[in-house]
Chains A and B, each alone.
Chain A
Amino acid sequence: MRRLINLRPERGSRLLLGLLPFVLALLAYLIASAARLADNPSDKLLPSLATMGTALYQMAVVPDARSGNLLLWVDTAASLARLGWGLGISAALGLIVGIGVGITPLLRAGLAPFIAGLSLIPPMAILPILFIVFGLGEVSKVVLIVFGIAPVIIRDMQQRVEELPGEQIIRAQTLGASTVSLVLRVVLPQVLPRLLDALRLSLGAAWLFLIAAEAIAATEGLGYRIFLVRRYLAMDVILPYVAWITVLAFAMDWGLRALSRRAFPWFGAGSTRGST
């Protein structure tokens, strides 16, 4: 018998192993739901799959009686737009400020402590300030996301830049690089895949801040809807919405990873930094 740590699943069985917990969780839910519904057919806490399917159909295909909108898609579009702006602005800030601070000692001396300080402010604590300053519209929600994740991305990028071997930077100068061309040709391309990684790791936090902001003040959005229907204990809407959000988050994560693999073939298993 080999040691447990040396037993590796094959390709097919790995997929099955990966699916198993999902299936088990679903099964557990179905059993619990069936038991409760058998007790009390109008129970709202653990709706059956059929009830959730109907609710989802209502949200996704049937126009809303009041506004005439397909709510699921309106909510999804609103949330994704906010998320996209938040992630995009954070990525841009991460690149510009992170590389700037990482590569220029003058900027580092001036900005690094400030950024470290900013990143320690709990973003949710300033949400009221954002609502007061930027109003209840889109801006305050995007700013909350940026405030929540940009400092982390900036510091990550800064660290990545500082991790580049000093030899690379010195040699670029001997090849005639100016500060700008050094950043464009040597630093930027090497930290771009790191940026995608940092974004991926920030996705969870970005969703958190998005839903928090939507829960407090919005007129559409996935988070808004969940908190709205909570008043009617509408678990048949909440659960499919949560599942949908998870699917979206998973797809974004997967997309970023695929982009990284495709765009940066040199960046991967063991191929970082010209090892001898």
Chain B
Amino acid sequence: MSTFSIRNLWKRYGEHVVLERLNLEVRSGEFCTLVGASGCGKTTFLKLLLGQEAPSRGQLLLDGRPLPAEPGPERGIVFQRYSVYPHLTVLDNVLLALELHRSRWLGRLFGRARRQAREQAAAMLEQVGLSDCLQRYPAELSGGMQQRLAIAQSLVRAPQVLLLDEPFGALDPGIRADMQLLIQRIWRETGVTVFMITHDLSEGFKLGTRLLVFDRPRHDPQAPQAFGATITYDIPLRNRRAGDLPPDLAERIAAREPTREESTP
């Protein structure tokens, strides 16, 4: 049982405050969906969780201990694109995850260890429905298949946390529904903690056990960058519906438009 604690977290780029006063406790096994208007700092929050960016103030704790300040094997991530390696076949992509993990220097396994890892990788690929194209290169896969591959690659050595930044944002609606089922099944089976950014509010409601809404509670028209976003709604999802959010907020999230009048500095 592990717990993520976020204590009074701030992130600013120069004068631009992106996130402020973030407080959050997430127990392991939760599925948090993150929504908010474009440019309000969701990706930035994920980068902080990942260790790719350092907080300007505040703490990120895993079971009371500060998280390592660089990306590591305890946290997996799938981006919207560029998540798989174009020079490796489907099987080798997943195998790479095991090899990097088990062979510190060469990142390569040999003989029995390699055969064993190959079997494990193939089993993982079977779970995401890619058994038919083990020897293909990513460029020969559709967008949805590439994202499946990325998920398989991230999950094959069971990270504690899986971070997803609009993983299905570039996919067709039909494929999207398949992918939602897939990620939900994998989440149930592995018990991994998930943070997933989405612009599709209904997706957020459908998949999560908890919906985190990012927005700016304070706003100064003279200095639009002076205040950052924070978690304004933290909704446990049992039998909630999108109607529970203020209507204008729901609209802004769905419309993918910048928060109020500014987005980029």
Contact = CB atoms under 8 A, between A and B. Distances in A.
Given A175-B96, A185-B100, A185-B108, A274 B159 contact: no
A76 B82 CA distance: 47
B104 interface: yes
B3 interface: no
A21 interface: no
B77 A170 contact: yes
A260 to B, nearest CB: 13
Interface in A161-184: 165, 167-168, 170-178, 180-182, 184
B82 A167 contact: yes
Nearest to A274: B138
Contact of A181 (B70, B73, B106): B106
Interface stretch (B28-36, B58-66, B84-92, B123-131): B84-92
Contacts of B72: 173-174, 176
Interface stretch (A55-63, A224-232, A263-271): A263-271
Interface string A168-209: 101111111110111011100110000000000000000000
A90 to B, nearest CB: 23
A181 B154 contact: no
Given A174-B73, A176-B72, A178-B105, A276 B100 contact: no
Interface residues of B, number: 42
Given A167-B82, A170-B52, A175-B153, A271 B100 contact: no
Interface string A205-227: 00000000000000000000000
Nearest to A270: B139
A171 B81 contact: no
Contacts of B87: 189-190, 264, 266-267
B97 A175 contact: yes
Contact of A174 (B75, B84, B170): B75
A189 B105 CA distance: 16
Given A168-B82, A172-B100, A271 B139 contact: yes
Contacts of B79: 167, 171
Contacts of B104: 178, 181
B157 interface: yes
The 6 A-B pairs of least Cβ separation, nearest first, read A181-B107, A271-B139, A165-B82, A173-B71, A176-B73, A176-B101
29 contacts: A167-B79, A167-B81, A170-B50, A170-B52, A171-B153, A173-B70, A174-B72, A174-B73, A174-B77, A175-B96, A175-B97, A175-B101, A176-B73, A177-B107, A178-B107, A182-B107, A189-B88, A190-B87, A264-B87, A266-B137, A272-B86, A273-B86, A274-B81, A274-B82, A274-B84, A274-B138, A274-B146, A276-B143, A276-B146
Interface of B: 50, 52, 70-73, 75-77, 79-88, 96-97, 99-101, 103-108, 137-141, 143, 146, 153-154, 157, 159, 170
